Chains A and B, each alone.
Chain A
Amino acid sequence: MNYQTPALRRALAADYAIGLMSTAARRRFEQLLLDDAALRAELAQWQDSLASLTAAVPEQAVPERVWHAVTARIEPQVLHVPEKRPWWTWLRLTVAVCSVALLVFIGALYNRDDARYRATLLSADAQPALKVEAHENYLQVEPLTLAAVDPSRSLELWAIAPDGKPISLGVIPAGGKGKVELSAAQKALIGKPIALAVSLEPKGGSPTGQPTGPVLYQGALTAL
């Protein structure tokens, strides 16, 4: 098609202006417009003529919401998006969160307090009488079938090492349930192949540092 014919250019511009062209024809015409200033001017004249068709359309008051909607759309960065934080804010936040997580983890490790050894002490007739669990700093003692103890007496717990000499671990609380705190020297014994024994002693424990009364219960301490 020869687009240089003035009559054809004029007719095409008119068709385009009023909107009669198919989509494909519109695209072709828009390509022509890009490089053809005279064609753009021709089109503009048609558009001016056509716009005059709206001259008698009455004006309509515009609700204020339209203005708000328009401003919201032309300034989205102010109205909708929170101000961008500098990167070091995120860095600081990340460091803080990591520190807290690390502290909690270390604390959990530090406070781990699982029983590590256990012994079930048996009476002379092989009845389980007392359960002992060794934690890091103390022994947890729990009665199973403990014989009644005269209030003027105490039960004392002993560690018996392979060489046979009993070392006192402390007095078991009245009633048989409770904690027996360990000294550093006592802690060192736990974990060695020792047996535990309980003897009946005067109230407060043996005055001599060695068992003075009968051994009531005994059993080996084994790792869990």
Chain B
Amino acid sequence: MNGTSALAELACEQFEMPPRRPAIAWRFAISIADTDQLRHLLAQCALGDRRAFETLYRSVGPRLHGVALRFMGRADLAEDVLQESFVRIWNNAARYQPQLSAPLTWMINITRNQAIDQLRKQRDRPLSEMEQDALPDAGPSPAEQLSSAREASALRRCLDSLDGMQRQSISVAYFQGLSCAELAEHLAAPLGTVKSWIRRGMERLRRCLEA
């Protein structure tokens, strides 16, 4: 493994970094807006480069932690999800397909899937009384989350183009990982209606984001 990563670093120095970066820079976080850099770090992880993994962790950790906390609503559960997510990112880095998705999207999806798995497990077993007491006051509701998401300008315009129930059903489905039936129950609406809210809302959202 060491041989591989040493080779990878050598390859970097020789072929990919004409403006030579000091090696120490790898220790620090990079901007998560730098998609090329994230993609490069993932490729290095796929080769077993632990330093690249640490840089990746320092860079996207706070972002994924925020996402995990939004899903789980509890600090301890969010940390578990974050830990599992990074283990998966490391183990699956070689399966990341850059032509399919942005690196951050890929990592957010891993975190979301992990969070939803945990949420489903929690829903499947009743909370003990102690856990009930330990639950934080209801965090931001999905609607509030979405309204804060609307602050992000590109998204804002698109979400505004959805009607209220489309917006709400998408955000509940996305952030809570509810099945269709659970979602219908949650929103107190017929199954078919909920499905069409989501389908139409998603279509409109996507067309708008692509525009």
**Contact bitstring A20-46, B, C-beta under 8 A = 1, else 0:** 101000000000000000001100111
What is the bound-complex CA distance between A46 and B170, given in angstroms? 12
Stretch of A68-76, A89-97, A129-137 contacting B (4+ beta carbons < 8 Å) = A68-76
Point out the residues of chain A lying under 8 angstroms from B112, CB to CB.
Answer: 54
User: Nearest Cβ in chain A — how far from B176, in angstroms?
Assistant: 9
What is the bound-complex CA distance between A88 and B205, given in angstroms? 67
Do B105 and A51 touch (CB < 8 A)?
Answer: yes
Do B66 and A18 touch (CB < 8 A)?
Answer: no
Chain B interface SS verdict (over half): helix
Stretch of B11-19, B82-90, B121-129, B130-138 contacting A (4+ beta carbons < 8 Å) = B82-90
Point out the residues of chain A lying under 8 angstroms from B149, CB to CB.
Answer: 53-57
Assuming the contacts A66-B83, A74-B91, asked whether A19 and B100 have C-beta atoms less than 8 A apart, the reply is: no
**Which residue of chain A is the closest to B102 with respect to CB atoms?**
A48
A70's partner among B57, B78, B175 (CB-CB below 8 A) is B57
User: Nearest Cβ in chain B — how far from A145, in angstroms?
Assistant: 82
What is the bound-complex CA distance between A14 and B170, given in angstroms? 11
Within 8 A of B (CB), among A71-103: 73-74
Q: Does B46 contact A (CB under 8 A)?
A: no
A20's partner among B62, B69, B100, B195 (CB-CB below 8 A) is B195
How many chain A residues touch B (CB < 8 A): the figure is: 36
Assuming the contacts A20-B180, A60-B65, A67-B57, asked whether A51 and B104 have C-beta atoms less than 8 A apart, the reply is: yes
Do B152 and A49 touch (CB < 8 A)?
Answer: no
What is the bound-complex CA distance between A62 and B111, given in angstroms? 14
What is the bound-complex CA distance between A61 and B78, given in angstroms? 12
Q: Does A222 contact B (CB under 8 A)?
A: no
B209's partner among A15, A49, A67 (CB-CB below 8 A) is A49
A18's partner among B102, B108, B154, B170 (CB-CB below 8 A) is B170
Assuming the contacts A19-B177, A52-B155, A57-B145, asked whether A11 and B199 have C-beta atoms less than 8 A apart, the reply is: yes
Do A49 and B205 touch (CB < 8 A)?
Answer: yes
What is the bound-complex CA distance between A66 and B84, given in angstroms? 10
Do B101 and A48 touch (CB < 8 A)?
Answer: yes
Point out the residues of chain B lying under 8 angstroms from A214, CB to CB.
Answer: none
Q: Does A106 contact B (CB under 8 A)?
A: no
Assuming the contacts A49-B209, A56-B148, A56-B151, asked whether A62 and B61 have C-beta atoms less than 8 A apart, the reply is: yes
B206's partner among A40, A49, A73 (CB-CB below 8 A) is A49
Point out the residues of chain B lying under 8 angstroms from A15, CB to CB.
Answer: 198-199
Q: Does A59 contact B (CB under 8 A)?
A: yes
Do B150 and A56 touch (CB < 8 A)?
Answer: yes
Do A70 and B79 touch (CB < 8 A)?
Answer: no
Do B62 and A59 touch (CB < 8 A)?
Answer: yes
Q: Does B143 contact A (CB under 8 A)?
A: no
Do A62 and B65 touch (CB < 8 A)?
Answer: yes
Point out the residues of chain B lying under 8 angstroms from A49, CB to CB.
Answer: 202, 205-206, 209
Do A58 and B66 touch (CB < 8 A)?
Answer: yes
Within 8 A of A (CB), among B168-189: 170-171, 173-175, 177-180, 183
**Which residue of chain A is the closest to B150 with respect to CB atoms?**
A56
A14's partner among B82, B154, B199 (CB-CB below 8 A) is B199
User: Which 4 pairs of residues, A with B, have the shortest CB-CB distance?
Assistant: A59-B62, A56-B149, A60-B65, A44-B100
Q: Could you pull out 9 A-B pairs where Cβ atoms are within 8 angstroms?
A: A14-B199, A19-B178, A20-B179, A20-B198, A53-B155, A54-B67, A57-B145, A63-B79, A73-B87
Name B residues whose Cβ lies closer than 8 Å to a Cβ of A: 53-54, 57, 61-63, 65-67, 69-70, 78-79, 82-83, 86-87, 90-91, 97, 100-102, 104-105, 108-109, 112, 116, 145-146, 148-152, 154-155, 170-171, 173-175, 177-180, 183, 195, 198-199, 202-203, 205-206, 209-210
Name A residues whose Cβ lies closer than 8 Å to a Cβ of B: 11, 14-15, 18-20, 22, 40-41, 44-63, 65-67, 69-70, 73-74
Give 10 A-B pairs besides A40-B97, A49-B202 with Cβ atoms closer than 8 angstroms: A14-B202, A14-B203, A14-B206, A19-B116, A20-B179, A47-B105, A48-B101, A48-B102, A53-B175, A59-B63
